[in-house]
Structure formats: C-alpha cells, structure tokens
C-alpha cells in the first residue's frame, strides 16, 4: 500500500532541514529556519495535487484535499508541527537506518560509546523484524513531529492517486513553534474550516489520546548581594544557595523521572546564576485542574516563606499558563475519538487510549473551537539522542489517516 523506501526518503528529507524553535525569542515563528521547511512543503503539496495551498505570514501552512463525494459530510483536518525541540540540537541530523532489527543493542556512535539498548529502552523489543531509523547519537531525530508531517503528506498523496477511496473535504495544517508552546497561538480556526481535526503527534503505534496535562511555565528569580568573601559575614547573600533551598522545598518525588500516568510534576529544566542573581525555570504539569492550581500556589508559598526567612524579597516567582486539558472539549464530541478507534481496530492495531503526559497543538486548538484528539506518529524517546522511529509505524499512521478519511464518508452518508 505505502512504499517503505518512499516514505523513508520523505521523512529523511524533512528531518535533515534544521527547524529547531527558540523559547527565548518572542518573534513568530521563533526561528527563521522554520521557513526553510515550510517553503519546501508548500512546493511539495502543490506538486502532489493539493488545492488552496497557503503559507501565511506566521509560517502556518494550510491546504485542501477536495471531496470526491456527491453528498455532504463534515470537513475534517489533520495537523502536525514542523519545528523540533530546543531541548537537544536538531542541527546536522545524520539518520541511521537499521533494517530487520533483531532486538540487539544499536550502536549509535562508536567513538562516543552511545548505545540504544533494549535493556534500557524496552519498547524496542516490539519492533523486532522491522526497519528502525535512529540518530547518530549527537542530535535528536525530529520524528517529533516530522513523522507526523511525513504521514499527512503521504496520506494526501495516496488519496489523490487513488480516487476510488471515497472521502469528504480534508484540510491539513503544519504549524510552527509547537515545541515552545506557541504552535496554536495564531492558528486561524475559522480559516481552517474543519469541524474537527486530529494531530498526528503521538508516540508509539496505537496511541489515541484526548486528555493532556494542564501546563504552565515558571520563572524563579533569586536576588543576592555580592561582597568580598573575606569580609562577607552578615553581609553576603548568595543567590545560588537560596536557589538550592527553593529546589529542596518542592516535593522531591514529584519530578518527571519519578511520575507516570495521571501523576503531575514540577520539572526544573534550566538553571543558571552567580552570587548576585540566579534563575530557575520550571514547567508545571497536572491532568487535574484543581491539583494544577495547588501546584502553582505551592511555588508562590515557598517563595513567600523564604522571603520571610530572609526578611526581604530575595525571590520573585512568575508563572504563566500555557495550555489546558482538552478532555473538557473532546468529551462532548466523543464520536470523533470513536471513529479513530474503529479505524485502528480495522487495521488490527491495538488502541492505546490514555492521557498524554505532555501537550500538543490539539489541546490549544480544542479550546479555540477545533476539537482535536491526538494520534500516534510512531516515534520514541523524543527530544534526545536516543530518539527513533520504526518505518512500519509511520506506514500504519499513514493508513490511519486514510482510514479516518474514508470512515467519515461512510458514517455521515
């Protein structure tokens, strides 16, 4: 159905374009290099026969596959993002292709002794006999979410080439800056014109998600006083030591590496400083809105307690909400999840319906009026050197897109 080499070549073409986003740049998109892939995609969409291909001033790409039905059905959409995470470099990606994987260790980088091992990443075992694309150990891979982009383009091309497969009007969109939380900020839902959509931005094969974290970012600024250490008694205030107090006051077991399922966390992802000033940057996550609020309150309360201890305002806490749990918006239209689940079962894929321990453009889009569950794109170990994607999972995800498109035409006949 879908040629393995063809989809592999398309994926590698996309990942070798550096599109890392920048959380510290308020511009939109946050990096100019995202335009490079956007322009490639525009030309490719035109070449395969998509209509109304548009790249707007904010780097959103939208396009249409017209209906081939003689009756009306809802317009649906598929969404993926073009940027890669700033957590780990996406520059100069050198993918490696492992054919007929046999469950052994994969040497990513012999010189640096970087190994992708099923002893540590046990999900690898389920892909024995398949073709796996990995990094060379020095970059991330970019399957988050260029696997999703690959799957959407490939599915649209397949539907164009096979008009015997009936479908209604389909809209697609590729967004910038998802990895820095801005992917849906300037998304024009009215212009997109779909009744609902699916983000192709999940991980392992079978994932189907309509719950996600409530999310916020926190910046903790600690101000100290620098004095010559030989004369510092009673005068120096070392901001780095106070920062350590703040870190230790948060629940030590409520971090990403110690939580799972519906458990929330505080994640310290960046820290820098000196005696005079230190900055801690956290992300706050919880599926439960009430618990999410309590997490934010705790961060303020710890700062208040430390300020009282030092009898001065040494700590300032700034918290900004990022997105909310889309379950609230999806539950009233659960048929859109049911359709995707039916297609997974039709393709003999075991549905893994669970809450996302993260977020997608779909969470923000759902609150903007476009209900948008999340479907697997196939990759594992996102945002780091051990990222990989089985080609067979990308093929299956492409088939899911095709299947949903056809299923909608049948359900609403």
Round to whole Å and give the CA distance between 317 and 298: 11
Q: Single out the residue of 97, 88, 98, 203 nearest to residue 138, CA to CA.
A: 88
The CA-to-CA distance between both ends of the chain, in Å, stands at 26
Helix axis angle, 143-161 relative to 4-15, nearest 10°?
130
List Cβ<8 Å contacts ≥24 apart for 41-50. 41/82, 41/149, 41/153, 41/174, 44/153, 45/153, 45/156, 48/153, 48/156, 48/157, 48/160, 49/157, 49/160, 50/156, 50/160, 50/172
Say what percent of the chain tops pLDDT 90.
95
217-228 tens-digit pLDDT? 999 999 999 999
Q: How many angstroms separate the CA atoms of 409 and 79, rounded?
A: 19
What average pLDDT does the segment 246-253 reach?
Answer: 97
Please state the pTM of the whole predicted model: 0.88
- Cis status of the peptide bond prior to 145, with omega within 30 of 0: yes
Compute CA distances 155 → 28, 30, 64, 89, whole Å. 29, 29, 13, 29
Give the tokens for residue 62. 């939208």
Domains of the chain by range and CATH? 4-212+325-411 (3.40.630.10), 215-322 (3.30.70.360)
**Rounded CA separation 292/355 (Å):** 15
Alpha-helical (H) ranges within 53-211 are: 143-161, 189-192
pLDDT at 159: 98
- CA–CA distance, 279 with 247 (Å, rounded to integer): 11
Cβ neighbours for 375, distance < 8 A, ≥ 6 positions apart: 198, 199, 200, 201, 202, 207, 208, 209, 340, 397, 400
Q: 236 pLDDT band (50/70/90 cuts)?
A: very high
Contact 384, 87 (CB under 8 A): yes
Report how far residue 391's alpha carbon sits from residue 377's, in angstroms, rounded to the nearest whole number.
Answer: 10
Mean per-residue pLDDT of the chain? 96
Region 154-161 average pLDDT: 98
pLDDT digits (tens, 9 = 90+) for 371-398: 999 999 999 999 999 999 999 999 999 9
Give pLDDT tens digits for 264-313.
999 999 999 999 999 999 999 999 999 999 999 999 999 999 999 998 89
For the chain, the farthest-separated pair of C-alpha atoms sits apart, in whole angstroms, at: 86
Active site residues: 83, 178
Half-sphere exposure of 370 (CA within 13 A, CB side): 28
What radius of gyration do the chain's Cα atoms show?
A: 23
């Amino acid at each position: 159905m879908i040629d393995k080499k063809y989809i592999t070549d398309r994926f590698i073409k996309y990942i070798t374009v550096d599109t890392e986003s920048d959380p510290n740049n308020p511009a939109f998109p946050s990096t100019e290099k995202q335009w490079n892939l956007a322009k490639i995609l525009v030309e490719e969409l035109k070449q395969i026969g998509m209509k109304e291909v548009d790249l707007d001033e904010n780097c959103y790409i939208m396009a249409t596959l017209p209906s081939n039905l003689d009756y009306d059905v809802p317009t649906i959409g598929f969404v993926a993002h073009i940027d890669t995470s700033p957590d780990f470099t996406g520059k100069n990606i050198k993918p490696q292709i492992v054919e007929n994987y046999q469950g052994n260790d994969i040497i990513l980088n012999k010189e640096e002794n970087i190994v992708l091992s099923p002893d540590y990443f046990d999900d690898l075992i389920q892909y024995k006999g398949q073709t796996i694309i990995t990094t060379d150990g020095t970059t991330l891979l970019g399957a988050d979410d260029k696997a999703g982009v690959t799957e959407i383009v490939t599915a649209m091309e397949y539907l164009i080439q096979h008009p015997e497969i009936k479908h209604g009007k389909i809209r697609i969109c590729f967004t910038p800056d998802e990895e820095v939380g801005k992917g849906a900020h300037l998304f024009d839902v009215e212009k997109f014109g779909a009744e609902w959509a699916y983000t192709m931005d999940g991980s392992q094969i079978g994932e189907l998600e309509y719950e996600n974290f409530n999310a916020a970012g926190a910046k903790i600024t600690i101000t100290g006083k620098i004095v010559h250490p030989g004369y510092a008694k009673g005068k120096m205030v070392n901001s780095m030591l106070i920062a350590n107090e703040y870190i230790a006051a948060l629940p030590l077991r409520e971090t990403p590496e110690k939580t799972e399922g519906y458990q929330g966390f505080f994640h310290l992802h960046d820290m820098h400083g000196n005696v005079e000033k230190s900055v801690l940057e956290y992300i706050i996550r919880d599926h439960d809105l009430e618990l999410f609020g309590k997490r934010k309150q705790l961060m303020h309360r710890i700062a208040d307690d430390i300020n009282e201890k030092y009898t001065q305002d040494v700590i300032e806490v700034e918290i900004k909400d990022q997105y909310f749990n889309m379950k609230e918006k999806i539950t009233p239209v659960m048929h859109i999840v049911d359709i995707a689940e039916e297609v997974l079962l039709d393709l003999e894929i075991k549905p893994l319906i669970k809450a996302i321990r993260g977020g997608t453009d779909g969470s923000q889009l759902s609150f903007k009026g476009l209900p948008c569950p999340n479907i697997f794109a196939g990759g594992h170990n996102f945002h780091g050197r051990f990222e990989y994607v089985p080609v067979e999972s990308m093929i299956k995800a492409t088939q899911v897109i095709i299947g949903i498109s056809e299923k909608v035409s049948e359900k609403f006949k």
